[in-house]
Structure 1
Amino acid sequence: MESFNLDARQLARIEAVHRGFLYQHLYAAACLFQAAKSGVTHVIVENDEDIELVFPEKRIYGQVKTRRSQLIFSDIADALARFDQIRAEHSAGRRSGACQFVIISNTTPRPDLSKRISSQTWPVDVALMCPGSAPLDASLPEPWTSIVEGFQACRTAAETLPFAILAPETLVWKLAGRILAASAGIEPEATHTFSVDTLPTLFEQLVIQLQDFPAPPLRYRPQDNEPPLLSEQRVRLVIGFSGAGKTSWVSQTALHATDRLAYYDIADISGPALANAVARELAARIFGSRGAKLGEILLPGASGAEILVAIGRHLAEDGITATVVLDNAHRVPATDLVPLVGASPQLRFLLLAQPTASTSRLEATLGIAAEHLLGWSNDTSAAEGASLGCRGDYADYDRLLKLTAGLPLYVQNALKIAAGSYEGDIDRLCTALEQRTHVVETVQELILADVFETFNDNERRAVAALSLSDVPLSLVEATSILKQTFNVEPAAASAAFRRLRTTGSIQIFGVDRFKVHDAIRPLGRAFLDSCGADALKAAREAIRDLVMAALPQDHDRPRVFLLLRMFVALGNVKPLVEMATDELFHELGYMEEISSFLLEASASEATVPEDRFWALDGLVFAHFKEGDDTDISNKLDRMDALVRDNNLGLAERLAVGMKRMIFAARTKDVATVKKTMAELNRVLPQTPQHLRVAKYNYAHALFELGMMDECIAGTLNLIVEYYDELDLRLADVMGNNPDRIWPLLQGGKDHIDDVKHLADALDLQSKAVKAAGGNPGLAPIHAMKFYSMAHSLDSFVRVGQELVDDFIGRNDYIGARDVIETNLMPTITGLKLAGRIIPVRSQYAVVLAYCGAFDAADAEMARLAPYEGGLPPRGQRELQNQRALIAHLRENPPPPQWQMPPKLGGPTR
C-alpha cells in the first residue's frame, strides 16, 4: 500500500494522539515494574488522572504530556485546574491520605513556564518531571524523551524479572496491552486498577499466554494492511502459501494482544483426537495455577467437547475470553473442527492454513470466509532490500513483488540472491527471473514445487498457458488461451480452473475474471518452457490476439503493458513502432518498456527503412519529454539520412523537420531554426490540422529561444483556435471538472488529439508567462483538466507538480497540499505510474514541511530512502535536495500561509 493518505493533517493529528497514549501506557508499565519496591499498593490508569499511584498514607496523581517542542503553560493549564478539584476532595476528607501532583513531560519547560514554576504562587504540592530532572519519588521513573527510549527503559526493567523463558520486550508489550485494556475499562482490570500484590500472578499469566508461541522474527516487517489478531468474529481463517508469513504474523501480533492466548500446531494431531488434546492442554494452561477450578474442568472421563464447555463456563464467570490459534488447520478434516469451535462462545479460534481443497471445505463447513495476508508493500520490500545492501528504484521493486507475490519469505530469499549473486542489483535479478536465466534456485520454487506436483496434466497446462499474463482474464479468454496453446477443450479447461481455484493457485477478481497467483506463475512459466518453443510461441500469440481484439473496449494500462510484452517477445516490430509514434503512448508511460527494442529495431538492416525512421522518431520524442538531449543530434541525422536515401514521404520530412527545429532552438541555434521553419512552411500542407501543429512547434521553438512575448502571443491564438474547434467557451471550463466538460464537446468527432494539443498549448503558454515574470492564472489548472480528458497522464502529473511549486512560491501551502493530495497522489498510486511515484512523494514531503508537519515529512522521506541507491544520479540529487530543504525549513520557518483578501472571501478581523 502505498503510504498515501487522503488527509495528511488529520493523519498527523491522529498519530500525535496515539504517540501520547503509547508513551503514557509505557510509563504506567514502568511504574508497575518498580511499584513493589517503592511501597505502592495500587496503580490506577485513566481515572481522575492518567496515572495514580496509591500508597498506604498518600496518593500521587500524574498527568503525562508528550510534545514535540518545549512545554508551555497552556499545555498544562487544564491539568492544574483538575489538580485543584482533587486537592479539594482530599481537604474535605472525601479522599483519605495526603495528595501529591506531578506533571510528567518528555520535554523541558519553556523559560516563561520555568519562571512560573519557581515563583511563590506555584502550588507547593505540584511538581514537573522531565528528562534529566531530579527524582521526585522512588515510585516515579525518570521521564524519557521518546517512545523508543521509554521502551528500552521498560525492557531493562523487565530483564530483572525471573521469567527467562520469555523475551523481556514481549513482556513489555503485553503489559502495555493490558494497561490499554484497563484504560478502556475492559476485564479483568475493569476498575482501571492494578493491585501490586497480584502483579506476580499477572506477569505469570502473560508468560503462560505466550511461552508456546513461535518466536517472532528478530526484525519483523508488517505486511500490507495486516488484519488484527483479535476481532468481533469468533472463528476466523487466515490462509496463505507456505512462505506467506502466517506464523510470523500471528507470533508478532500476539505480543500486543490483551486476550488469553494459546497456540497449537495441529498438523500431526488426528482429527478425532483433536478436541480432547486441545481441551486438556488449554485447561491446564489457563487454570493450571488454580487447582480447584482445574479439577472441576478435568473431570474423569470427560470428553474434549465437555471440557471445552467447562472452560467456557469458568471463563464466563471471570468475564474474560480466550483465543486459540490453530496452525496448519488444512491438515485436519473440517468436520473434526466443528465440535472444537462450537463448544463455547467464550473461546475464539483463529485457524491458519495453506490454500488447498481442504481450505474451501473449512470455509463451507464453518460458514466463514477466508482472510488473506497481502504480503509486503513496495516500501517494505525496499526497506528490506536496503538492509541487505540491495539497490533498486520503485519500478524494480514493483517487478520483484509481481515475481514473488510479495510473500515475505520469497521476497527475502530473492533479495539475498540479489545481494549474493547480482551485486545487489534488483533490476538484474528480476530480468534473470523473468527470462529464466537465474542459476540459484529460489525458495519460492523449492517450496511451491510440491504444490505444483499435486496438479494433474490439464491443471499444469492451465497454469503454464496463463503464466505469461499478470492481468485478470475472463473465463472465455483463459479458455481460448489454453485451447490455442495446448488444445485443451473448454469443458476440461473449466474443470482445471475450478480445481486450481480451490487450491488458491488462481485469484478471482470481480465476478468472472481471474489470473494465476503471482507466487505460482514462475513454476507455470518453467513448465511452459519445458513444453518447447512452439507451445511458448502459441501462448504468446494467443494472449496477443485476444488483448488486441478487446483493446477498443478494454484498454487499461496493465493490458496494454501485457500486449507490449507480447509484441516484444514475438518480435512484432510494426505495431511497436506505430505505438511509439503515438503521443498518447508516451503519455501513458509505456516508452521505457520498449525503448531497448526500438533501439535495436532502428539499428537493424532487417527492419524496413520506414519502420527504422519511426522507431527513431519515437526515441527522439521520448528524449524531448525527459529533457534528455543525449544522442538527439545523432538520431536526427540518421532520420534525415533515412528520408534522403529511401525517398520517404512528406510525413517523415515534417516529423524530422519539426524535431530538428525544436532541438536547434534548445541549443540557441537561431540560424537553423529560421532555415528549418522556412523549409517547413514551404512543404507544409495548408490544412487547419497541420497548421495548428506547426504553430505549436513554432511557439515551442520561440520559447526555447527565450522569445517569451512572441511565444505567449502565438499560443494565445492557438488556444482560441482549439476552443473553436472543440466548440467550447472559457465559461464551460471555469469551475467544471472533466466529466462536466466532456459532454459539451462538438459531437460526432474523436476529440482526443485536439484536447491533448489544447492542453499542450495552455501548458506552453503558462511556462512562457512564468518565464516572463507573470502569473499564468488558471491556465495550468485548465491544462490539467484537458490532459486528464485526453488520458495524458504523464503531462497531467508533470503540470500538477509545477502547479504545486507555483502555490508554494505564492506561500499558499494549503493550496499546494490540496493539489498534491486531491489530484496527484491518487493518480500515481491508483495507476501505478512507477516513474513518477518517488518524485511526487518526495515533493509531497516538502509540502508537508511547508505546512509545518515535519514529523510526517521526515517519515515520508524515510520511506523513500531505501530507493535512493537504485535511482540515477539526477534522482538521487533530487531526494537529497528535498531532504536538505525539509531540514532547512525546520530551522528556518517559511513565510506565513497566504490568506485570501477579505473582499474575495478571506477572513476578516
Structure 2
Amino acid sequence: METFNLDPRQLARIEAVHGGFLYQHLYAAACLFRASRVGLTRVVVENDEDVELVRHDERIYAQIKKRSANLIFSDIEDALERFVAIRAEHVEGRRQGACRFAIVSNSAPGPDLSKRLTSSDWPSDVMLLYPESATTDVVLPQPLVTIEGIFEDCRAAAENLPFSVLAPETLVWKLVGRVMAASGGVEPNPNHAFAVADLPSLFEQLVIQLQDFPAPPLRYRPQVSEPSLTGKQRVRLIVGFSGAGKTSWVSQTALHATDRLAYYDVVDISGPALASAIARELAARMYGARGGKLGEILLPGASGTEILFAIGCHLAEDQLTATVVLDNAHRVPSADLVSLVGASEQLRFVLLAQPGQSVARIEATVGIKAEPLVGWSNETAAAEGAAVGCRGSYADYERLLQLTGGLPLYVQNALKIASESYDGDLSRLVDALEERTHVVETAQELILVDIFDALNDTARQVIAALSLSDVPLTQTEAAGVLKRSFDLEPAATAAAFRRLRSSGAIQIFGVDRFKIHDAMRPLGRAYLDESGGEHLHKAREAIRDLLIATLPQENDRQRVFLLLRMFVALGNIKPLVEMATDELFHELGYMDEIAEFLTAAAQSEEVSAEDRFWALDGLVFAHFKAGDEACIEEKLDRMEELVRKKKLGLQERLAVGMKRMVFAARAQDATTVRAIMRDLSRVLPQTPQYLRIARYNYAHAMYELGLMNECVTITLDLVSEYYGVLGLTINDVMAQNPDKIYSLLKDGEDHTDDLKHLADALDLQSKAVKAMGNFPGLGPIHAMKFYSMAQSLDSFVRVGQELVDDFIGRNDYIGARDVIERNLMPTIVGLKLAGQIIPVRSKYAVVLAYCGEIDEAEAEMARLLPYESGLDEQGQLELQAQRALIAYLRENPPPPQWEMPLKLSDHQNKP
C-alpha cells in the first residue's frame, strides 16, 4: 500500500462491497454471453433480484453472493423471504410463466446451511450453485471462486464472438460497464433489461466505439490517483511528458467507460480543419448505420461546429452523451479548440497534451485546469520490476521513482536496463544513474533531451543548479542558489522560472515553493557536470549554506537528508562526525547515508585524532542498534588506542568506557562490567546529567547479564528523576497524546535529550519486567509517546512493533491492529521511512490474519512479494515465516479475542 488509509477496517468493508458488485456484474455479463444459446429472451439486472433470466415459458431469479468465508444461512435468509413473495405473484397469475430460484455463491455452504439444503422443508424450486456443487443448470453459468476466475470465463466466451479486431477482455469490460449502468437505471437500458435479440447490435456497437482507440498494454498498471476517463467536467485536460503513459491510460480507462467514445490523434490536423474533420468522422461513426439520421446531420454546406451541434441534438433526444478523446491537443491552437469544445453540451472532451506554453494557453482560453498524470507508486514499480526479473528493496524503488519521476515508460525502461545490463540488481543501476556512471542511455534521456535542448542557456542553468535539490525551495531560496552557482540575476531567474513552469519542468508545491521535475533532474545534473567542477562545487556550497541557515525554521526530514548529501559531496568531515555522535541522528535513520564516509574518515591519518575517535563512536553506536556484534570490538579497540596514544580527554574516555561496558555485558562478562563501572565512577563528573547517563548504561549492562531485578530498580529511579526534570507527573501522561503533554513541559529548556532518555529508561524497564515473566503495564505505550516527542523514530517503530507482539501474545488482536493503524503506519508513511515500510506492513498482514481477515492478510503479503528478492537473507526469512504463519492461521484459527473484564469495562465507561 503506497498511502495508508486512516481507517483500514472501513476500507476493507468498502472493498468487499464493491468487489461483490463487480462479481455480480461479471456474472450478469456471463449470462449475456450465453443468452442466445440457452434460449433466453431477456436478461434483467438489479430488479427484484440481482439477475433475472427470462425465457418464453419461465423466469429464473438469481441472488448473487460473494463471500470470503463459507456461505451461511443468514447471508440468504432475506432472499428466501423475497422468493416466497415472488412465487406468490406467479401462482396468482400476476406474473406469466413458471418461476424458479437460484442462490449463486462463490463459496461453499457452511455446515448448518448444508444441513438445511438436504432437509425436507427446503423449497424444491430453489437451487444453490457454488464452484464445487454437484448441481448444475443449463441456463445459469457455474460460479467461480474469484473475480479473476469469472472474468477469465467471460473472456473465453467473448473470444468466440466474431470480432477479431478487438481484444476479448476489452469487450468484457465494456459489457460490464453497460451492466453497471443498467443496474443504476441509466440510458440506454433504463428499464434494467437487455433484450437478447439486441445483443448482436450491442456487441457491434461496443466494438465500433473502441476499434480506433490505441490498444491498451497487455499488462496495464494504474498510476497514483489517476483520473477516470469521464468526470463532472465536460472538458478535461490531461497533461504529462512523453512517457507519462497518457495514451496507455486513455486506452485502458476506455475499457470501463459506459459513454459513447471516439479517439482522434490530432497531430497532423490543422487547427481550422479540426472541427470539420472530427465532426464528419464522428457523425459517420455514430449514425452511419441508422437510416436517415446521417443525412440529417451531414447537411450540404454545414460547418464542422454545425455538424457537432446536430450530433449533440440527436444525442439529447436519446438522452445520451459522447466523449471525444483528442491526443496531442497541445499541437492545436487554443482558439480552434474553443470552437470545437463549445459546439454542443452533449459532447464531452478529453484533451491529452504534453506540458508547455500551449497548455497554459489552453487552460486560459478554454477555462479549464490541467490534470497531471503523476506516475507509478513504489508498489507498482516493484511489481513491474519483479515481472522483468529485477531485485530491489523498497528504498531502491523509491530512489528509482525520484530519478524517473515515476513516469511509466521511464520506469519500465530503467527496469529493463537493470535486468539486461545489471543482472537484475536495481541498487546497482540507481547507484550508476545517481553517479552518472551508467553506460546505457535511458529512454528518459532520449525523450526529454529535445525539451531540454530547446530551452535557452539561463533556463538550462536553472535546471542544472536546482537539480541537486530534491526538496522544494522558495523562489528567493532558489534565486540565491543560482546567483552563487552561475551568477544569475534575480530578473533573469524569474523569467526562467516562468518559462520552466509552463514547460512542465518545474513542479509547484503550495503557494511559492517548487522544485525541478524529477524526470528532468538527470538532464540538469548532466549539464551541471559538463559545465565544469567550479559550478558544481558552488551549487553544492550554496545549497549547503542555505539549508544550514534555514534548518532552525525548516526542520524538515528531507532537508536534513539533502544537507547530509551536500556535506558528503563537499567532504565536510566535522559536521558529519558531530552528527554521527548524536543519538537523535541515528534515531532519524540517517546513518546509512554516511556510514561509508565515516569509515573512511576514521581510517584517514589526515583527519584529527578527535574526529577519528568520534567517527568510530558513531559507527559503534550504529552497530549496537543494528545488533552487529562482529564489528564492535575492533572499533572499540581502535577508540581506546586513540584515547591512550593521543591523550584524548574525559569525554572520549567516558564514551568508550560506557560502550565497552555494554559490550562486555552482551558477552556475559560480569567481572569486566563491574570493573569498568568502578573505573568510570572515579572519573565521572558528579553532575545529575552525567550520573543519569552512567546509571542507564549500567542498568543496560545488568539487563544484558540477565540481572533483571537490578535493572528494574535502577530504571525505576531513573524514570522518576526524568519525570521531575521534565516537570511531569504520571497523571500528566495517562491517556494523553504527545501534543497535550508538550504543553506541560517545563518552559525555557530544550527537553529533546531528556525525553529520549526517559523513553529509553521506560523501554529498558519494560523489557526487564517482561523478561521476569511479568506484565509491563503502560511502560511500552508511554515509551512510544516520549520517543515520538523526541523524534526518536527508529526506537518509536521498534517499540511499536514489540508492543504489537505483546498484544498478540495476550490475544488482544484489535489492540495490536490499533497500534499499527493509529501509530506506526501513519508515522512511517508520513515521514517516508523507507527502510521500515516492509517490516511493518508484513507484521500488519499477520495482525490481519489474527483478526480473522485471512484474505486481506494474504493480499497484503502478495503486494510485498516483489520486494522479497531485494531483502537481505534475514528479511527474506522473516517474510517467508510470516507468510507461513498466515497460512497456518487459515487452517488453525487463533484463540478468541481478549475481552475486557466486565467490571473494568463498566468502570471505564463511567463519566
TM-score range, shorter chain: over 0.9
8 A contact 1:182–1:192 mirrored in 2: yes
Aligned pairs for 1:69-218 within 5 A: 69-133=69-133, 136-218=136-218
Q: Secondary structure at the match of 1:299?
A: coil
8 A contact 1:9–1:853 mirrored in 2: no
| Deviates further, 285-294 or 536-545 | 285-294
8 A contact 1:132–1:142 mirrored in 2: no
Q: Residue 759 of structure 2 corresponds to which residue in structure 1?
A: 759
CA distance in 2, matches of 1:26, 1:728: 61
Distance 1:489 1:773, change over 3 A: same
Aligned pairs for 1:212-227 within 5 A: 212-227=212-227
TM-superposed CA distance for 1:147, in Å, is 1.7
Which AA in structure 1 matches 2:512?
D
8 A contact 1:899–1:907 mirrored in 2: no
The answer to whether 1:349 aligns with 2:358 is: no
Which AA in structure 2 matches 1:880?
Q
How many pairs are equivalent? Answer: 908
TM-superposed CA distance for 1:631, in Å, is 1.1
8 A contact 1:394–1:838 mirrored in 2: yes
Give the gaps of 5 or more residues in structure 2. none
Which AA in structure 1 matches 2:314?
H
8 A contact 1:473–1:515 mirrored in 2: yes
Q: Residue 293 of structure 1 corresponds to which residue in structure 2?
A: 293
8 A contact 2:623–2:632 mirrored in 1: yes
TM-superposed CA distance for 1:630, in Å, is 2.2
8 A contact 1:12–1:853 mirrored in 2: no
Q: Residue 381 of structure 1 corresponds to which residue in structure 2?
A: 381
8 A contact 1:900–1:906 mirrored in 2: no
Q: Residue 6 of structure 1 corresponds to which residue in structure 2?
A: 6
Q: Residue 652 of structure 1 corresponds to which residue in structure 2?
A: 652
What are the Cα deviations for residues 736-787 of structure 1, in whole angstroms up to 9, with x where unaligned?
1111111211111111111111111111101111111111111111111111
The answer to whether 1:450 aligns with 2:450 is: yes
Q: Residue 462 of structure 1 corresponds to which residue in structure 2?
A: 462
What are the Cα deviations for residues 843-880 of structure 1, in whole angstroms up to 9, with x where unaligned?
11111111011111111111111111111111111111
| Deviates further, 224-233 or 653-662 | 224-233
Which AA in structure 1 matches 2:306?
E
What are the Cα deviations for residues 43-66 of structure 1, in whole angstroms up to 9, with x where unaligned?
100000111111122111111122
TM-superposed CA distance for 1:830, in Å, is 0.5
Q: Secondary structure at the match of 1:38?
A: coil
What are the Cα deviations for residues 148-206 of structure 1, in whole angstroms up to 9, with x where unaligned?
22111111111111111111111111101100110011111011000111111111110
CA distance in 2, matches of 1:333, 1:64: 52
**How high is the TM-score relative to the length of structure 2?**
0.98
CA distance in 2, matches of 1:71, 1:899: 27
Q: Residue 413 of structure 1 corresponds to which residue in structure 2?
A: 413
Q: Secondary structure at the match of 1:787?
A: helix
CA distance in 2, matches of 1:635, 1:677: 20
TM-superposed CA distance for 1:5, in Å, is 2.1
8 A contact 1:245–1:408 mirrored in 2: yes
Q: Residue 732 of structure 2 corresponds to which residue in structure 1?
A: 732
Q: Residue 708 of structure 1 corresponds to which residue in structure 2?
A: 708
Aligned pairs for 1:662-673 within 5 A: 662-673=662-673
8 A contact 2:580–2:586 mirrored in 1: yes
Q: Secondary structure at the match of 1:860?
A: helix
TM-superposed CA distance for 1:136, in Å, is 4.9
CA distance in 2, matches of 1:433, 1:143: 50
Q: Residue 38 of structure 2 corresponds to which residue in structure 1?
A: 38
Which AA in structure 2 matches 1:90?
H
8 A contact 1:329–1:351 mirrored in 2: yes
TM-superposed CA distance for 1:291, in Å, is 2.8
8 A contact 1:899–1:906 mirrored in 2: no
TM-superposed CA distance for 1:100, in Å, is 1.2
Aligned pairs for 1:502-521 within 5 A: 502-521=502-521
Q: Residue 274 of structure 2 corresponds to which residue in structure 1?
A: 274
CA distance in 1, matches of 2:37, 2:320: 30
**How high is the TM-score relative to the length of structure 1?**
0.99
The answer to whether 1:556 aligns with 2:556 is: yes
CA distance in 2, matches of 1:130, 1:906: 45
CA distance in 1, matches of 2:822, 2:777: 19
What are the Cα deviations for residues 405-445 of structure 1, in whole angstroms up to 9, with x where unaligned?
10000001101111111111111111100110000000000
Q: Residue 614 of structure 2 corresponds to which residue in structure 1?
A: 614
CA distance in 2, matches of 1:543, 1:527: 18
8 A contact 2:68–2:855 mirrored in 1: no
Give the gaps of 5 or more residues in structure 1. none
Q: Residue 835 of structure 1 corresponds to which residue in structure 2?
A: 835
Q: Residue 303 of structure 2 corresponds to which residue in structure 1?
A: 303
| Deviates further, 287-296 or 191-200 | 287-296
Q: Percent identity?
A: 72
Which AA in structure 1 matches 2:121?
T
| Deviates further, 768-777 or 898-907 | 898-907
TM-superposed CA distance for 1:907, in Å, is 11
| Deviates further, 898-907 or 837-846 | 898-907
TM-superposed CA distance for 1:606, in Å, is 1.2
8 A contact 1:828–1:836 mirrored in 2: yes
TM-superposed CA distance for 1:733, in Å, is 0.8
CA distance in 1, matches of 2:726, 2:136: 77
CA distance in 1, matches of 2:134, 2:867: 45
8 A contact 1:577–1:614 mirrored in 2: yes
TM-superposed CA distance for 1:224, in Å, is 1.1
CA distance in 2, matches of 1:388, 1:812: 41
TM-superposed CA distance for 1:368, in Å, is 0.9
Q: Residue 864 of structure 1 corresponds to which residue in structure 2?
A: 864
CA distance in 2, matches of 1:360, 1:147: 43
Distance 1:889 1:260, change over 3 A: same
Which AA in structure 1 matches 2:104?
I
| Deviates further, 97-106 or 359-368 | 97-106
Q: Residue 589 of structure 1 corresponds to which residue in structure 2?
A: 589
CA distance in 2, matches of 1:508, 1:115: 64
CA distance in 1, matches of 2:133, 2:638: 76
Q: Residue 431 of structure 1 corresponds to which residue in structure 2?
A: 431
Root-mean-square deviation over aligned CA pairs: 1.2
Q: Residue 806 of structure 1 corresponds to which residue in structure 2?
A: 806
| Deviates further, 370-379 or 139-148 | 139-148
8 A contact 1:463–1:516 mirrored in 2: yes
Which AA in structure 1 matches 2:394?
Y
TM-superposed CA distance for 1:135, in Å, is 6.3
Q: Secondary structure at the match of 2:880?
A: helix
CA distance in 1, matches of 2:13, 2:727: 47
What are the Cα deviations for residues 529-554 of structure 1, in whole angstroms up to 9, with x where unaligned?
00001111010000001001111111
What are the Cα deviations for residues 659-691 of structure 1, in whole angstroms up to 9, with x where unaligned?
000000011111211111111101100011101
Distance 1:590 1:835, change over 3 A: same
Q: Residue 742 of structure 1 corresponds to which residue in structure 2?
A: 742
| Deviates further, 129-138 or 3-12 | 129-138
TM-superposed CA distance for 1:67, in Å, is 2.0
Q: Residue 370 of structure 2 corresponds to which residue in structure 1?
A: 370
CA distance in 2, matches of 1:774, 1:506: 57
The answer to whether 1:894 aligns with 2:909 is: no
Q: Secondary structure at the match of 2:856?
A: helix
Q: Residue 234 of structure 1 corresponds to which residue in structure 2?
A: 234
TM-superposed CA distance for 1:10, in Å, is 1.9
TM-superposed CA distance for 1:3, in Å, is 5.0
Q: Secondary structure at the match of 1:890?
A: helix
Which AA in structure 2 matches 1:612?
R
TM-superposed CA distance for 1:478, in Å, is 0.5
TM-superposed CA distance for 1:373, in Å, is 1.1
| Deviates further, 453-462 or 744-753 | 744-753
8 A contact 1:135–1:142 mirrored in 2: no
TM-superposed CA distance for 1:705, in Å, is 0.5
CA distance in 2, matches of 1:61, 1:858: 34
CA distance in 1, matches of 2:840, 2:111: 41
CA distance in 1, matches of 2:328, 2:280: 20
8 A contact 1:2–1:379 mirrored in 2: yes
8 A contact 2:328–2:352 mirrored in 1: yes
